[in-house]
A and B are shown apart, each in its own frame.
Chain A
Amino acid sequence: MYGVETRFGIPVRVAGFRFRVACLAAVFVVATACVAQEGKPAEPPAADATQTADAAAHPAKDSKPQKPGESDRKKVIADQSAQLLEMALALKAEVDKTTKDTLSLNVIKKADEIEKLAKSVKEKMKQNSGS
């Protein structure tokens, strides 16, 4: 199939072989480059990049360090203030029922409970602000 004639002193068959090797090498290089490109992670969106930069610039802005148990105490304060509101409503209802000549033991009892609960809330708030 291949002739034996030469061009520029090189046999044509040898020149074809070298050409094919060169082509294969080029294809291999291109294929390797493509595979390497696909393996790269996708570029993050611009917003993510901004957020990352922000987080790096202000590491303690959003994540405020909390002492252990502090969130529990805040939850207790919130629960107790809700309970305080319910008891204040009950006290008002009880007071509305009494007349000027009555001594309502229920009012005394409810007011006493509110006093104790308000004191507890106040003390917990002091602990929070003091810590």
Chain B
Amino acid sequence: MENISPGGELAWSPGFEGGQVASFGDVKINIEAYNRKREKDIANASKKLLSLAIALKSDLDHDPDSDPSPSAMSKAREIEKLAHDVKETMKLNLISPH
């Protein structure tokens, strides 16, 4: 059976800014930079998610007897998508071996 695990070919080397760089063939990932961006993305997404949740509640409280507006529905959809992104981005945490 063919070994599809990247473990054998994954190489680690010191990066440009002192961080570790993971190399997989031609693809090089700066772990430090990646994790920094990941942290920023998660923080932005959770911030946007919170403001959308506030806006959604405000929309529904404004006129509780009427049907939910298309805007409220779009907010719920966006919240669902952002929560999914936060979850998946948080799962992709790269830890260097050094």
Give chain A's interface residues, CB within 8 Å of chain B.
64, 74, 77-78, 81-82, 84-85, 87-89, 91-92, 95-96, 98-104, 107-108, 111-112, 114-115, 118-119, 121-122, 125-126, 128-129
Q: Which of B52-67 contact A (CB under 8 A)?
A: 52-54, 56-57, 60-61, 64-65, 67
**B68 near A108 (CB under 8 angstroms)?**
no
Minimum CB–CB distance from B40 to chain A (whole Å) comes to 8
Q: Which of B33-57 contact A (CB under 8 A)?
A: 35-36, 38-39, 42-43, 46-47, 49-50, 52-54, 56-57
Max chain B Cβ within 10 angstroms of own Cβ: one of A88, A101, A107: A88
List of 7 A-B pairs having minimum Cβ-Cβ separation, nearest first: A118-B80, A103-B93, A100-B39, A115-B83, A88-B53, A111-B87, A114-B83
**B60 near A115 (CB under 8 angstroms)?**
no
Chain B residue numbers with a CB within 8 Å of A89 are 50, 53
Would you give 30 A-B contacts (Cβ < 8 Å), ordered by A? A74-B64, A78-B60, A81-B53, A81-B57, A81-B76, A84-B53, A84-B56, A84-B79, A85-B53, A88-B52, A88-B79, A89-B53, A95-B46, A95-B86, A96-B43, A98-B39, A98-B42, A100-B39, A101-B95, A103-B91, A108-B90, A114-B79, A114-B83, A115-B84, A121-B56, A125-B73, A128-B68, A129-B68, A129-B70, A129-B73
Which one, B68, B80, B86, contacts A119 given CB within 8 A? B80
**B67 near A129 (CB under 8 angstroms)?**
yes
Contact size class for B? 35 or more
**A95 to B41 alpha-carbon distance, docked (Å):** 11
**A118 near B76 (CB under 8 angstroms)?**
yes
Chain A residue numbers with a CB within 8 Å of B98 are none
- Is B72 part of the contact surface with A, judged by Cβ < 8 Å? yes
**A121 near B83 (CB under 8 angstroms)?**
no
Q: A87 — nearest CB in chain B belongs to which residue?
A: B53
**B83 near A111 (CB under 8 angstroms)?**
yes
Chain B residue numbers with a CB within 8 Å of A107 are 42, 86-87, 90
Chain A residue numbers with a CB within 8 Å of B39 are 98-100
Chain B residue numbers with a CB within 8 Å of A111 are 83-84, 86-87, 90
